[in-house]
Structure 1
Amino acid sequence: MGKYAAGTYVAVSKTESEIKELLRRRGATRTAFAEEAGRAVVFFELRDRRVQFTMPLPRADEKRFTQDRRGNRRTTAAATSAREQACRERWRALLLTIKAKFVSIESEVETFEESFLAHLVVPGGKTVGQHALPAVAEAYRTGTMPPLLPAGEGPSRG
């Protein structure tokens, strides 16, 4: 199975600019991009909400970059080139993800909050996903699940 944007030549800086322009066109009042070893973070504020995407980036020491398919050691230049390609692909996938969320919102498939829920930043600086995902994993681990439907008066017999 192929990866999205496999073989793309679009520079990371160009994709970052495209994301920033997409967010600006959709009304984002603030944007920020940060990168450190192993991850990139995109922040924006829109509709009185702060949104954060934290995207893992491939590490230069990963075997898929340092060795070819036969297991032979790659040159430093070849390893760097392979990693840069993986980063370009990852950034293109993030752009597509954000675009798709806006398509979903504009098509009224879901609301802004529903679409970006896991990425909404709450007081304390964590995202909803960072808070909720461990609780969901624990619920599945223990088998203690909340009811699918909230408690109520039952079906209407109208």
Structure 2
Amino acid sequence: MTSPYTRGDSYSSEASRKHIQQALAAYGATDVVFSHRGNLSAVAFRGDGRQFRIVMPILQSEGALAIRGDIADSRLHEANARSLERANRKSWHALALAIDAKLGAAAAGIATLESEFLAHVVLPGNHTVLDELEPVIDSAYRSGRRPSFGRPDPSARTEESQVPADFPHLRSVPSPTARRGS
């Protein structure tokens, strides 16, 4: 059984945003901004010489319910609104926990801020690393071919970037199309 705290029910969305802002500020991040457009919310900040933007979908109702004065319709509308608010509270709480974990790893020296938030680094042109790499990764899985990421020869690596021979290697991941055929 989980308590309301672990499910994120006891925090309002605003309390989670405040927690995120305080955690980022405590780490030394600056220019923390929250925004909302359509069904997306975002938090953006600067830290360690980089800009970051995390975008999160927010659930919204499918539109205003036509309330015909019927008490059942009104109760249904209220129940739907409560469900949406609860789901969004959980999302904001989960984001706050994720950011806490990433900042904790960076503060402990286990990782860097950039490595923890790599997908959310804002590149010149205002796109994130994730925006740029998602289609490349999708294409690689569809084709079954390893992307080069701009390297002329993926096997031509410098000595310092080589993975040590005794480092555990993961087996290659089959493409989604190869899995469907099995």
Q: TM-score range by the shorter chain?
A: 0.7 to 0.9
Mapped to 2, the partners of 1:119 and 1:37 lie a distance apart of 20
Q: Name structure 1 gaps, 5 residues minimum.
A: 63-71
- What number of residue pairs does the alignment pair up? 144
1:121–1:18 Cα change, 3 Å: same
Contact 2:41/2:56 (CA < 8 Å) preserved in 1? Answer: yes
1:152–1:22 Cα change, 3 Å: closer
Counterpart of 1:123 in 2: which secondary structure? coil
Partner of 1:104: 105
Partner of 2:25: 24
Partner of 2:121: 120
Measured after TM superposition, the shift of residue 144 of structure 1 is 1.3
Calculate the TM-score normalised by the size of structure 1.
0.80
Mapped to 2, the partners of 1:153 and 1:30 lie a distance apart of 37
Mapped to 1, the partners of 2:158 and 2:37 lie a distance apart of 52
Counterpart of 1:95 in 2: which secondary structure? helix
1:48 aligns with 2:37: no
Q: Which moved more, 1:99-108 or 1:84-93?
A: 99-108
Partner of 1:68: none
Counterpart of 1:131 in 2: which secondary structure? helix
Partner of 1:59: 60
Counterpart of 2:7 in 1: which secondary structure? coil
Contact 1:49/1:120 (CA < 8 Å) preserved in 2? Answer: yes
Q: Which amino acid aligns with 2:128?
A: T
1:9–1:142 Cα change, 3 Å: same
1:76–1:41 Cα change, 3 Å: same
CA RMSD of aligned residues (A): 2.7
Contact 2:58/2:88 (CA < 8 Å) preserved in 1? Answer: yes
Measured after TM superposition, the shift of residue 111 of structure 1 is 1.9
Taking the TM superposition and a 5 Å limit, the aligned residue runs for 1:84-95 are 84-95=85-96
Q: Which moved more, 1:138-147 or 1:91-100?
A: 138-147
Counterpart of 1:75 in 2: which secondary structure? helix
- Percent identical among aligned pairs is 30
